[in-house]
């Protein structure tokens, strides 16, 4: 008897099941093509003053207005930007984008207060507000931005259970509103070790971006460090310009903000891989050779390592595979299967 595939799950009891490889050919839907998946959860992180809020607002304005982002199509709709540090700075940054892009981002809704999303009553409040905005506007909400994780977090970021509560709160909001959630986050004291706090956050992410600002400039690099179900997006170099907002402050000086007017530059795959933290660690800390485990401890924070999951391991091994395929590193296995004891060396 021939087995026929179906992309429609079947109900058994009260649960829906797919069978075997059903659904393997379902195409990925994108909020921002190749960068932010639809119906997903992710993080953009970087040091303080790394331009990450400017970039998050730029992406938000593109989605809110239906404007291509760096040549990539967007799925236009309502964007909810929850700014835990207040909306004044956000409104000026949005105005700078509007002036630079000759557009008005009226479908970007900004809430200038902290919301501890691990709390059920806060989740209910956010969900109800989004549903009300959708009902009044006749448009669908597509993206929620939480800026920053610290402002909307309850408890200790290094605690896996507290981080789990935060993630569950985001998931509940996301599932009910059928949106993507983007969290803006900081690095720890050692920026080379990734996003601050428990590694449970990285494990739960569908996508993750690191933004590195070139010291004392308006230039930065955007690195896609994780895409769970697709290839990582290419690394981009971006540069911001000072925009006069057409108003003056109390001392009668012009008020300015930043926006991008130049197209982002695409780094080649080879250039991207040479910036990988594994390669940097091998070059600067291990004289060209070390074990996977020692590299792990070097490039990730203690909090991430202490809460390491199987998902983290898969992502970590995937990084090595890309570097091996490109001929940048060589792996010497210590057993029949790869392990953290394997020795990794820079290729000659």
CATH of the domain at 231: 3.40.50.300
Inter-axis angle of helices 310-325 and 292-299, nearest 10: 110
Assess whether 206 and 330 both reside in one domain. Answer: no
Assess whether 236 and 280 both reside in one domain. Answer: no
pLDDT at 5: 61
Assess whether 210 and 135 both reside in one domain. Answer: yes
Q: Is residue 18 part of a domain?
A: no
Q: Is residue 15 part of a domain?
A: no
Positive/negative CA dihedral, 241, 184, 88, 69 = positive
Assess whether 194 and 75 both reside in one domain. Answer: yes
* Paired tokens of 292: 């996977």
* Paired tokens of 22: 């059903």
pLDDT at 1: 46
Question: Which of 222, 244, 267 lies at the terminal end of a domain, its last residue?
Answer: 267
Assess whether 239 and 304 both reside in one domain. Answer: no
Domains contained in the chain, number: 2
Assess whether 207 and 99 both reside in one domain. Answer: yes
Assess whether 184 and 283 both reside in one domain. Answer: no
Assess whether 243 and 309 both reside in one domain. Answer: no
Q: Is residue 13 part of a domain?
A: no
Report how far apart the first and last C-alpha atoms of the chain are (Å, whole number): 55
Q: Is residue 10 part of a domain?
A: no
Q: 3-state class of 344 per DSSP?
A: strand
Q: From residue 292, give the alpha-carbon distance in Å to each of 35, 226, 234, 296, 313.
A: 28, 19, 25, 6, 10
pLDDT at 326: 85
DSSP annotation string for 275-303: T-HHHHHHHHTSTTEEEHHHHHHHHS-HH
Edge-to-edge order in the sheet of strand 141-147: 108-111, 78-83, 141-147, 180-186, 41-46, 207-213, 219-227, 236-239, 265-266
CA–CA dist 225, 235 (Å, integer): 9
pLDDT at 205: 95
Distant-in-sequence, close-in-space partners of 77: CB < 8 Å, separation ≥ 6: 63, 64, 107, 139, 140, 141, 142, 143
Question: Which of 212, 246, 267 lies at the terminal end of a domain, its last residue?
Answer: 267
52, 44 contact by CB (below 8 A): yes
Q: Is residue 145 part of a domain?
A: yes
pLDDT at 86: 75
Assess whether 244 and 293 both reside in one domain. Answer: no
Q: State yes or no: cis peptide before 148, omega within 30 of 0.
A: yes
Task: Tell me which residue range forms the domain holding 148.
Answer: 28-267
pLDDT, one tens digit for every residue, the chain (348 residues): 455 666 678 888 888 898 888 878 888 899 999 999 999 999 999 998 999 999 999 999 999 999 999 999 999 999 999 998 877 789 999 999 999 999 999 999 999 999 999 999 999 999 999 999 999 999 999 999 999 999 999 999 989 999 999 999 999 999 999 999 999 999 876 666 678 888 889 889 999 999 999 888 999 999 999 999 888 898 999 999 999 999 999 999 999 999 999 988 877 777 778 878 899 899 999 999 999 999 999 998 888 888 898 888 988 998 899 899 888 999 999 988 999 999 999 987
Closest by CA position to 152, among listed 129, 184, 128, 179: 184
Question: Which of 216, 246, 267 lies at the terminal end of a domain, its last residue?
Answer: 267
Assess whether 301 and 218 both reside in one domain. Answer: no
Assess whether 194 and 118 both reside in one domain. Answer: yes
pTM as predicted? 0.78
pLDDT at 76: 98
Q: Is residue 79 part of a domain?
A: yes
Assess whether 324 and 229 both reside in one domain. Answer: no
């Amino acid at each position: 008897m021939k087995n026929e595939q179906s992309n429609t799950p079947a109900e058994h009891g009260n649960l829906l099941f797919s069978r075997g490889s059903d659904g393997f050919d379902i195409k990925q839907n994108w909020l921002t093509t190749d960068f932010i998946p639809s119906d997903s959860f992710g993080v953009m992180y970087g040091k303080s003053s790394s331009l990450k809020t400017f970039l998050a607002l730029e992406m938000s304005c593109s989605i809110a207005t239906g404007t291509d982002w760096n040549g990539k199509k967007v799925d236009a709709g309502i964007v909810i930007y929850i700014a835990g540090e207040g909306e004044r700075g956000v409104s000026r940054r949005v105005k700078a984008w509007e002036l630079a892009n000759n557009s008005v981002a009226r479908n970007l809704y900004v809430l200038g207060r902290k919301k501890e999303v691990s709390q059920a009553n806060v989740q209910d409040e956010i969900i109800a507000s989004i549903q009300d905005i959708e009902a009044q506007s006749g448009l669908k909400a597509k993206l929620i931005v939480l800026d920053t994780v610290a402002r909307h977090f309850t408890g200790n970021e290094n605690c896996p259970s507290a981080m789990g509560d935060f993630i569950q709160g985001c998931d509940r909001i996301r599932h009910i509103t059928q949106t993507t959630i983007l969290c803006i986050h900081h690095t720890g004291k050692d920026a080379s070790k990734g996003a601050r706090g428990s590694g449970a956050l990285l494990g739960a992410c569908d996508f993750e971006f690191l933004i590195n600002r070139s010291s004392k400039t308006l230039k930065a690099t955007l690195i896609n460090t994780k895409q769970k179900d697709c290839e990582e997006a290419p690394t981009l170099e971006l540069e911001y310009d000072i925009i006069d907002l057409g108003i003056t402050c109390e001392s009668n000086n012009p008020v300015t903000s930043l926006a991008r007017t130049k197209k982002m530059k695409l780094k080649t795959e080879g250039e991207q891989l040479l910036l990988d933290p594994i390669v940097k660690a091998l070059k600067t800390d291990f004289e060209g050779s070390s074990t996977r485990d020692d590299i792990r401890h070097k490039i990730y924070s203690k909090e991430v390592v202490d809460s390491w999951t199987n998902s983290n391991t898969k992502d970590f091994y995937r990084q090595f595979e890309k570097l091996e395929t490109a001929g940048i590193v060589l792996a010497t296995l210590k057993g029949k299967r790869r392990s953290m004891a394997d020795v990794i060396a820079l290729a000659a």
